[in-house]
Amino acid sequence: MDLAAVASVGGFFALRTEEPEGGEHVPLARIYAGDAPGLAFRVDKVAARLNAPERRVAASIAHLGLAARLWSIALGPAALYGEFPALPPGDLRWDADRSSPDDLWLAAPRTLPATADRIREVVQYGHLVPLADALVRDCRISRPLLWGNAGSALAGAARELHTWARKNGCPEVGERALELAAELFRHPDLCTTGTLEGAAFRRRSCCLYYRCPSGGLCGDCVFDRAPVS
């Protein structure tokens, strides 16, 4: 498994296995448990950058970005190589002040067979469930919105892989990504988040980005036009 080749798909697919220079990388297990301030820091940073009118708006955007990273670093290797890195929250370390590829660093990497069940166990149960719990503790945000973000992030990762694979003459990689995504979407927490048809996804909720002064609607948003407040 060549993680450098996976990173060529796009920045969200990049994963470091050697400690980056500088930074304040903290195991995600501590972030989820509330033992480190990284999540609140990231939400505050997003709020300041977007001038978000409510903390839950910034929390949603921060969550969407991290969910996309987590799905991508599993789905990319799975589609390309038939295996993916085990991503235990105690070994996957995050710097809330950085962006990809320097935000995530995996200590003691090992691989797992790339089945939808294993990816679900690692990403959905191992990360997205405790991440949602941590955000709900931090601010007033709904779980259905967070699951909508998770579905949008998964569909986006599969779509990015599908597009990259067609451009690079390996369509089987793209088809494998779509097959895995379709299997993952069969879970009750994800199947209700939107409609997945091949590489196209339309979610049934909104990430609230439109509420930011410079915001708008995402391509998979449930709305056709931004609601009037």
Residues 114-171: pLDDT tens digits?
999 999 999 999 999 999 999 999 888 999 999 999 999 999 999 999 999 999 999 9
Buried b (16+ CB within 10 A) or exposed e, 138-170: beebeeebbbbbbbbbbbbbbbbbbebbeeeee
Q: Which residues of the chain have pLDDT under 70?
A: 229
Q: What pLDDT score was predicted for residue 229?
A: 59
As a whole number of angstroms, the distance between CA 127 and CA 220 comes to 23
* CA 156 to chain CA mean position, Å: 9
